[in-house]
Amino acid sequence: ETTIPGMPCTCQDLADLDLPENFEVTIALESLTHVNRPVDALLRIRERTDRIIIRDHVSEEASMVYNHWNMRVPSTKDMHRLLEQAGFRIEHEERVDVPWECVSAFWLRNLKNAFPVFIPEGQFSILKSTCEHIVHSGPPQQKIHLLVAS
């Protein structure tokens, strides 16, 4: 458990979420797409909060799965369905523009500094190849959406 001054916070894997108390709001930042059972996680969250703010990857077209990232990117329609199945009603939604090429170049510089001598493996290798692809071929198909629901 972590505490922000004046605000208790619980840090747990959404798939295993077990909140000890009620909260005014839950914030999920680029995390829901990594949950194996997002409806179950949202249902558990719904039991303990009246409002959720989600900032996450959403596909403008069909839902996508990236197994190497353990990531499921829902379509806009599927994201809406997930929230509705958990008993939430969307109050606000907007697309957040992300400068993918700049962010990817930043991560590539960080990786080069972190791995000056040896080649990154595992998730770092995937991050490196993904960032290189974005820098050379343009941004990914999914967008970042900000959703507020109660």
User: Between these two residues, 3 and 69, which has the higher pLDDT value?
Assistant: 69
- pLDDT for res 129: 86
> CA 42, CA 92: separation in Å to the nearest integer?
17
* Percent over 70 (pLDDT), the chain: 91
Give the β-pairing of 52-59 and 64-66.
unpaired
Q: How confident is the model at residue 89 (pLDDT cuts 50, 70, 90)?
A: very high
C-alpha neighbours within 13 Å on the C-beta side of residue 134: 21
73/63 Cα distance (integer angstroms): 6
